[in-house]
Amino acid sequence: MMYTTIIFLWLTLGLVIFTRTLAFPARSKNSPNTHEVSLHSPNARGFVRIKGSHVDSLALTKDDRSAKLQMKSFTVNGSVVVTIQPREKNSYLCVNSDGNLTVETPGNVMSRCLFIEGERSGYTTFRSHHNRNWYLGFKRNGKVKQPHNTTESQKAARFIIYKTHLTSP
């Protein structure tokens, strides 16, 4: 009798932990870190900026108001992922189902707004968490190179991160 009670308690505890992990997948033991950043695209020779629903890499300085971004990092399913958003608006840089870069407000497609931060040749890359063959990138003229046409080895996918300060979640 006591043996079955102990097993029942352990199974209940396991179920509670499992369902809590499913209900809050973005939460981890470590709270998310939020950085105010500017992303420089050496290929476009400019800083990434988000103006409304428009994204480009044409900001000349990191002090440009639309080039100030927030990058939040946290763990999802064992991978460290980041979200990129304008500092002053409640929207996110996302990759839609066709592999095109979009700016979207929070909702049920947040999984498309997650990027895996990587390193290649001393530069930072941002790979889509939704489709791991898609990379964030900008052409030489500063326009978006659509993620479905961008690979990790291309110069368009390289970034330099300028962190201005760490903020609390």
Instruction: Tell whether the model's pLDDT for residue 126 goes beyond 60.
Output: yes
- The whole-number average pLDDT for the span 82-111 is 87
pLDDT value of position 23: 43
Q: Is the pLDDT of residue 19 over 50?
A: no
Residue with the larger pLDDT of the pair 45 and 23: 45
What ranges make up the beta strands (E) of 18-78?
33-41, 46-51, 54-59, 69-76
Instruction: Name the percent of the chain in helix, strand, coil, to the closest 5.
Output: 20, 40, 35
Residue 149 pLDDT level (bands cut at 50, 70, 90):
very high
Residue type, 53: S
